[in-house]
């Protein structure tokens, strides 16, 4: 069973580079009537801040648990 329209949904992405895949998922969810304001990624590859810029243009907040630099320093 799917949640009712208007439900607030957070998109979870394993690794984010440009944000393109997550934004496509958000667009489909929004078209289906869901509210999506946040994308959470486990790892942000930090590709010239491209993902953050793309998220802002789509009205989204990007939150990442780790950056690639943090993982590389372990």
Strand, helix or coil for residue 14 = strand
- Examine the pLDDT at 5 and tell me if it is beyond 90: yes
| pLDDT tens per residue, range 9-34 | 999 999 999 999 999 999 999 999 99
Q: Examine the pLDDT at 48 and tell me if it is beyond 90.
A: no
**Per the structure block, which two tokens stand in for 49?**
């801040």
The pTM is what?
Answer: 0.90
In the chain, domain spans = 8-72
* CATH fold of the domain at 8-72: Rossmann fold (3.40.50)
Q: Look at residues 30, 26, 38, 35 and name the one whose alpha carbon lies nearest to residue 62.
A: 38
Give DSSP secondary structure letters for 31-62. HTT-EEEEEEEEEE--STTHHHHHHHHTT-EE
- Contacts of residue 58, Cβ cutoff 8 Å, sequence gap at least 6: 19, 23, 26, 27
């Amino acid at each position: 069973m799917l949640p009712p329209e208007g439900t607030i949904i957070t998109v979870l992405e394993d690794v984010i580079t440009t944000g393109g895949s997550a934004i496509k998922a958000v667009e489909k969810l929004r078209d289906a009537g869901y509210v999506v304001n946040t994308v959470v990624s486990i790892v942000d590859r930090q590709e010239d801040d491209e993902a953050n810029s793309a998220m802002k243009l789509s009205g989204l907040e990007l939150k990442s648990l780790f950056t690639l630099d943090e993982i590389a320093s372990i």
